[in-house]
Amino acid sequence: MNLLPEAPDNRNNNEPLYNIGVVTRMTGITTATLRAWERRYEFPQSGRTSGGHRLYSEKDILRLRWVKERIAEGMQTAQAVQALRYQEEAGTFTTAPAASEPPSEKMALLSPAAQITSGDECHKLVKLLIEHDLDQADQYLNEALATLSPEALILHVIGPAMAAIGDYWEEGRIDIATEHLATNYLRQKLLIWMVNGPPPVAHPPIILACAPNEWHEGSLLMLGALLRRRRWPVVYLGQAVPLADLANFARQVKPSVIVLVAMLEPSASELLAWPPYLAEVLNQFKIKVGYGGRIFALKPEWQQRIPGIYLGASIEQGLENIERMLKT
């Protein structure tokens, strides 16, 4: 049973996600050149938003990089595009990275200018969501990607927006229906990034799971999307995973790391019981277990009670610690 993310050439890799400004930053190819290639060679054939703006997929980005590399080696643009199409028709072109190619060491971080504006971006996004204007929210996120990397958008816009929506509900400023609409909208965006991340390297996957009876999955979704941006294979289990089921699942998947998240004390107390369930499979496959969540930052004494490796008080710390576990 294949429980890893699907092969990079599947239909999900063709999902139009990125506007032309983002693609320029990701490939180093200017917007003028991208438009010229599409006009002269019908390459790539980008999708369009309802407003007529170009949208590109992960596969488009990999194809563009391949053509750019051939041009750097001395090919004419027309020859490089033709060579790409020939390989695709022959079935010899692959967008998958080499098995030995490591994930990127560092994700793209916010520039100082972007740090100044990210709070405003979050506020505008929250306003659109509580007004139930999802079409404008879609357009707004697409425009934000022109100046922010996907990583920055996740960490400094979507993450704070999810927290703000939760605060608004707790304060009685929005009703539960609006909270569900906004949260599920952001949740879907994170799931898309998780599924449509760059092709993962050949490596045992990372299992991401909420503690039993833990239903707050926002930080886990962010972590999964960011790990996929770094090209680590992720198996996302999500909310309230029973420990017995987690152990059976790990036995089948043979992951490298299991990440457990608890946000509140009751769910953290559930994690006290993980060793009897997972000890056998951990020893058999040399799996490491890390954990995190709000409760461990609010009450540090919980860090001493839960077996495993504490991943830190922030998503960024969690990413770095998970990668350290993977590489050691």
- Within-domain flag for 5: no
Q: What percent of the chain shows pLDDT beyond 90?
A: 31
Asked if residue 19 has pLDDT above 90, the reply is: no
What DSSP string describes 272-285?
A: TTHHHHHHHHHHHH
Read off the tokens for 156.
Answer: 């400094």
How many separate domains does the chain show?
Answer: 3
pLDDT of 327 higher than 60: yes
Which CATH number is 33's domain given? 1.10.1660.10
**222 and 319 within one domain:** yes
Query: Residue 232 has which token pair?
Result: 């680590």
Q: What pLDDT is attached to residue 10? A: 42
Residue where the block lists tokens 């990089």:
65
Is 210 in the same domain as 312?
yes
Bridge partners (DSSP) listed for residue 236: 208
pLDDT in tens, 126-177: 999 999 999 989 888 887 777 777 888 888 888 888 888 888 888 888 899 9
DSSP string of 96-157, one letter each residue = PPPTTPPPPSS-----HHHHHHHHHHHHHHHHHHHTT-HHHHHHHHHHHTTTS-HHHHIIII
Q: What is the dihedral of CA 140, 141, 142, 148, to 10 degrees?
A: 120
Residue 57 is assigned to a structural domain of this protein: yes
Let me know whether 146 and 219 are in one domain.
no
Q: Residue 42: which domain range?
A: 11-90
Q: Which amino acid is at 167?
A: D
